Structure 1
Amino acid sequence: MAQASETDSLAFAIASFVCGLFLLERGADSFVDSTAIVAKRLGVSPTLVGLLTCGAEWEELVVIVVALGQGQHSMALGNLMGSSIANVLGSFSLGLLFAQKMMVFDRSSKIYSTALLGLVSVFLLVLYAVPADAKRMAGIGLVVAFVVHVTSVTWLISKGILTAPEDDSDSDSDSDSDSHSDPGSDSESGPTEQDFDLDWDGDDHKEKDVTRSEPEIQDPSRSFGEWDEDGRALLSASVKSSGERRKTGVKPHKPLWKQVLKLMFGFGSLVLSGYVLAQSARVIGNQLGLSGTVTGTTILSLATTLPEKFVAVLAGSRHQQGILVANTVGSNIFLVTLCGGVLFIWGGDGDVDETKAMFSLSEALVMWVSAAMLFLVVIIGGRRWMGLVLLCGYVGFLCLEFL
């Protein structure tokens, strides 16, 4: 009976974890998309919005905060370090594997990867070298570093020194319809193929209406009968196109308060899903005999970085090396600065030092080596065999964690 109860508990925890993961991704998409729309309506710089939404690990931050609130410092730190490793060895590697040819990275990618290597080094130094009573100040410094990073990159992009990161969201949300309906969005995103066809048809029909003679306007049935076959086909196409435009016409954009409400809903979904994931992951780890450290570095980090893996595969197959690097580097900079700063501020009274003792130097070494490997690949160029080596390294890391 006890064994059956444990099995039911494990099954329920796994089901809750999967549901929480779906809610997390949905909430993250809603939060990010609504934030971008609200910021655009309020006149915030598109570059700043891109930096805060492209590669930003908001869902990771929520999971870490919830874990810290539950006193699970080892899971929070494990999730941070595991996600950082997974983004490089598990996601960036897939982008290289799916690339059809060698990837040559631009100057912006090299600057981003260099900054990441430096920030990872600083994070590990704070974790292992800074005394417990100074960790809270170091955490504040990391949060400030995140703000400085966003500010400086925004300035460098405005000067043309860096290339702005592209939005990697694959969500099917209202942001698309909002961008089409917003009068100022055409200049930013450009017309789609459908928009082009509709505009072309509209201009053509307008020209035909202007060139029609006055008798034709007064007696359209007579003019239709006198038209040749091409003219009748054109009129038929015009009627059909007008009907299609009425069916697929651009909807007016939602009021600002509705977007704010959607933003709040997305944030609430993030908080709720973070709680569900942290609780269910803890139960799964306990049922399988895993420590909070191993649970955070393997199960939790592997699940929460699934979107990055999908983006990396698409970026690699389409040879979008800029998106591939922005996706990986942006996520990891967010982790080691903002998430790391919150971790040190929250656990500045010695909890982080106690948690650090649960980690061997191997996790820290793998985290630093993964950032160094990313830097090296970006400098010399990415090849498929490099992706295979990185992916094999990630599989080996997971196996060692479970042993």
Structure 2
Amino acid sequence: MLFSLFLLAIGLIVLVSGGELLVRGASSIALRMRLSPLVVGLTIVAFGTSAPELFISVQSALQGSPDLAMGNVVGSNICNLALVLGCTAVIFPVAVHKDSLKIDWPMTIGSSLLLFLLVQDNLISFLEGAVFVLALAAYTSFIVIRSRRDPRLGEAMLEDADLTEKPSKNIWLDLLFIIIGTLALAFGSEWFVDGAKALALSFGVSERVIGVTVLALGTSLPELVTACVAAFRKATDIAIGNLMGSNIFNILSILGITSIIQPIMVNELIIWEDMIWMLGVTLIVFPMMFIQRKISRIEGFVLLGIYSFYIFTVVQA
């Protein structure tokens, strides 16, 4: 079991590092090609920060472990809106921007419902994956166009992406970052998945349980750390938009691309338990956002309680 935990930890570290290098190199080259920083931030940076989850899901599907692939995505979405948002609000109340109510939440619940409807046959096929990717392309295009029309919104997104407006001075270093980052993602995802599978065997639990708990929490750690640091600095204005954007990307990009590469079989328990929890948490967050235009500390504790109860039910099942 110790070796499984070691493999899991090393895999996660290599994955996160690989994603960072890939984003740095690809962003710099894109800026060198005179793409606007806003477009780079909403495409390359968004994709790069989700690259660890994507590689994990693809690796899991190819290794014949679809429960890890699905559990990772669905569990991460629950974790984002219950654990991460809950922790952030407990540290410092989270203000709700009007765009989170008008755009982010409807898109989040819409993509979640689309996923729930399409998996009723226990499969995400190649064509359904293509639908997800096309929906993501349309959503990203809409956000880019809207942000260009509203300079303040564009500036906020650039600040959130932590993207410089100038490329690096050495293109060969950028290419090296991309190569090393991609290799790190490939090897890191393999180690992480292998560690998760071995951990499931060690504890005698299903891969679905490991997927929605260990994998989901592990891949959500960067978001959790970032959100908590922002909360301590009392800069929580864009926390909800970030987390919902991550949930949208998880479904449309990660499951979309993974199912195009390898169709994903979906466990009944994931459909009728974990996805119901994902939809439920997304619905619960809306009145919290709408009533006072902020997520208070009390509501943060409520979200943490919901996440704790969810994990308890999964582990006890």
**TM-score when normalising by structure 2:** 0.90
The worse-fitting range, judged by mean Cα deviation, of 359-368 and 330-339 is: 359-368
1:155 to 145, 148, 154: 145
Matches within 5 A, 1:33-44: 33-44=24-35
Give the 3-state SS of the residue equivalent to 2:153 in structure 1.
coil
Structure 2 residue aligned with 1:16? 7
Q: What amino acid is aligned across from residue 383 of structure 1 in structure 2?
A: S
Q: Which runs of 5+ in 1 are unaligned?
A: 1-9, 186-251
- C-alpha distance in 2 between matches for 1:45 and 1:270: 26
Asked if 1:401 corresponds to 2:311, the answer is no
Deviation string 1:30-70 (CA, Å, 9 cap, x unpaired) is 11122221111111121122113258421101100111111
Give the 3-state SS of the residue equivalent to 1:109 in structure 2.
helix
- Aligned-residue sequence identity (percent) comes to 24
2:268 to 357, 361, 384: 357
Matches within 5 A, 1:92-241: 92-99=85-92, 102-110=93-101, 111-128=103-120, 135-160=125-150, 163-164=153-154, 165-166=157-158, 168=160, 179=164, 185=166
Q: What amino acid is aligned across from residue 77 of structure 1 in structure 2?
A: M
Judge conservation of contact 1:153–1:162 (CA < 8 Å) in 2.
Answer: no
Structure 1 residue aligned with 2:78? 85
1:289 to 181, 204, 215: 204
Structure 2 residue aligned with 1:371? 282
- 1:254: Cα distance to partner? 3.5
Q: Which runs of 5+ in 2 are unaligned?
A: none
Judge conservation of contact 1:95–1:312 (CA < 8 Å) in 2.
Answer: yes
- Root-mean-square deviation over aligned CA pairs: 2.3
Judge conservation of contact 1:114–1:375 (CA < 8 Å) in 2.
Answer: no
- 1:358: Cα distance to partner? 4.3
Asked if 1:51 corresponds to 2:72, the answer is no
Judge conservation of contact 1:54–1:326 (CA < 8 Å) in 2.
Answer: no
Q: What amino acid is aligned across from residue 250 of structure 2 in structure 1?
A: L
Give the 3-state SS of the residue equivalent to 1:359 in structure 2.
helix
Judge conservation of contact 1:74–1:358 (CA < 8 Å) in 2.
Answer: no
Give the 3-state SS of the residue equivalent to 1:320 in structure 2.
coil
The worse-fitting range, judged by mean Cα deviation, of 159-168 and 82-91 is: 159-168
Whose radius of gyration is greater, 1 or 2?
1
- Higher share of residues assigned helix: 2
- 1:341: Cα distance to partner? 1.4
Deviation string 1:207-247 (CA, Å, 9 cap, x unpaired) is xxxxxxxxxxxxxxxxxxxxxxxxxxxxxxxxxxxxxxxxx
- C-alpha distance in 2 between matches for 1:363 and 1:376: 21
Give the 3-state SS of the residue equivalent to 1:44 in structure 2.
coil
Pair 1:169–1:13, CA change in 2 (3 A): farther
1:329 to 240, 244, 252: 244
Pair 1:358–1:373, CA change in 2 (3 A): closer
How many residue pairs align between the two structures?
Answer: 309
- C-alpha distance in 2 between matches for 1:83 and 1:77: 10
Asked if 1:64 corresponds to 2:57, the answer is yes
Deviation string 1:137-161 (CA, Å, 9 cap, x unpaired) is 2221001111111111000111118
- C-alpha distance in 2 between matches for 1:114 and 1:341: 19
Deviation string 1:248-285 (CA, Å, 9 cap, x unpaired) is xxxx9431122112112111111110000001110011
- 1:114: Cα distance to partner? 2.0
Give the 3-state SS of the residue equivalent to 2:95 in structure 1.
coil
Matches within 5 A, 1:306-345: 306-345=221-260
- C-alpha distance in 2 between matches for 1:319 and 1:166: 19
**TM-score when normalising by structure 1:** 0.72
Where has structure 1 moved over 3 Å in runs of 4 or more?
A: 166-170, 343-348
- C-alpha distance in 2 between matches for 1:346 and 1:35: 22
Structure 2 residue aligned with 1:32? 23
Q: What amino acid is aligned across from residue 156 of structure 1 in structure 2?
A: R
